[in-house]
Amino acid sequence: MRYLTKMNAIIFTRYGLLIGTVLMLVVGRADGQAPNNKAFSREDLVAWCIVPFDAKQRTPKDRAAMLANLGITKLAYDWRDEHIPTFDEEWEALQQHGIDLFAFWLPSNADPANEPHIQQVFAFLERNHIKTQLWYLPGWFAGYENLVEGFSEMSRQEQIATISEPIRYVAERAKKLGCSVGLYNHGGWFGEPENQIAIIQHLGLDNVGMVYNFQHGRHHLARFSEFYPKMKPYLSCINVVGLSSGEAVKVVPLGTGDMEYRLLQQIVTSGYDGPMSIQNHRSDRDAEEALISERNGLHKILTALSHLPDNRGK
């Protein structure tokens, strides 16, 4: 199976007896015995959506200190325009606290080669010699298909070839820096797993894979068991949230919904052993409180799934 290059793992540190106990429970039972499945290890837990989504609006130094205190040593960095001037400050703070810059959010328009903020991100990575994943979303939130004239009238193969060009530009630049690219699903045509798989296969580049988000895949999760085996070889991270079913699927705290257990059960039994992120997806909530809550919810689910066999490599 072909996976994206993994970042070097950094071992979790314990912060007092309480935090140490919580960390152990995330991936094992209270008696210290690990669950039968080892799908999600402490080293692979990633914090996501805690930069613009934080009621306390922490500074880079405060954010890095918070992660260190929680024992979370991987950050997927999301940002908005106002954060661009503090990219270097963020990197310095993460280094001081031993936090791995696991991934970097990278949305673009239809022409990333001529988009200023894309060049700013690459300049930041280059001057700091950073090797990370770029979670790439062509088209920003408008959807790539809405930015390219005649896209909806193209054949599927023409669509795949067209959208592959901006991705190729980003991937080739990323490879020169030792970085990889994860296609980031956020709804629309590009957010469909089958389309992302077809793009990856069309490109044929060894540093391009997928990041899969429960939250942004709500509209197609009913068929998760159909497409998950096909996208598993390309996954570099899975971003999990709690989900409550109904006429419209709603995002809820992890461990309180009625859908995430079923999804994680399929992931665990498949033998997936890559990184997974927990997140704060509300700007009016304290990021630290959200991470603690989501991690506790994850513990609840993994405890319930602890009887499942370890199918890695099968």
Q: Is residue 9 part of a domain?
A: no
For residue 42, pLDDT over 70 is answered with no
Q: Is residue 4 part of a domain?
A: no
For residue 37, pLDDT over 70 is answered with no
Model pLDDT, residue 20: 35
Residue range 189-222, pLDDT digits in tens: 999 999 999 999 999 999 999 999 999 998 899 9
Residue range 92-102, pLDDT digits in tens: 999 999 999 99
CATH number at residue 35: 3.20.20.150
Q: Is residue 88 part of a domain?
A: yes
Q: Is residue 191 part of a domain?
A: yes
pTM for the complete prediction?
A: 0.85
pLDDT, mean of residues 145-162: 93
Q: Is residue 29 part of a domain?
A: yes
Q: Is residue 216 part of a domain?
A: yes
Domain span at residue 279 reads 16-304
Burial of residue 72 (CB within 10 Å: 0-12, 13-18, 19+) is buried
Tally Cβ neighbours within 10 Å of residue 154: 15
- More confident call, 240 vs 247: 240
Q: Is residue 85 part of a domain?
A: yes
Model pLDDT, residue 76: 98
pLDDT, mean of residues 121-133: 98
Average per-residue pLDDT in the chain?
A: 86
- More confident call, 41 vs 215: 215
Residue 281 banded pLDDT, cuts 50, 70, 90? confident
CB burial string 21-60: b at 16+ within 10 A, e below: ebbbbbbbeeeeeebebebbbbebbbbbbbbebbeeebeb
pLDDT, mean of residues 95-114: 96
Model pLDDT, residue 308: 58
Q: Is residue 10 part of a domain?
A: no
β-pair partners for 276: 45, 238
Share of the chain above pLDDT 70, in %: 83
**Number of folded domains that form the chain:** 1
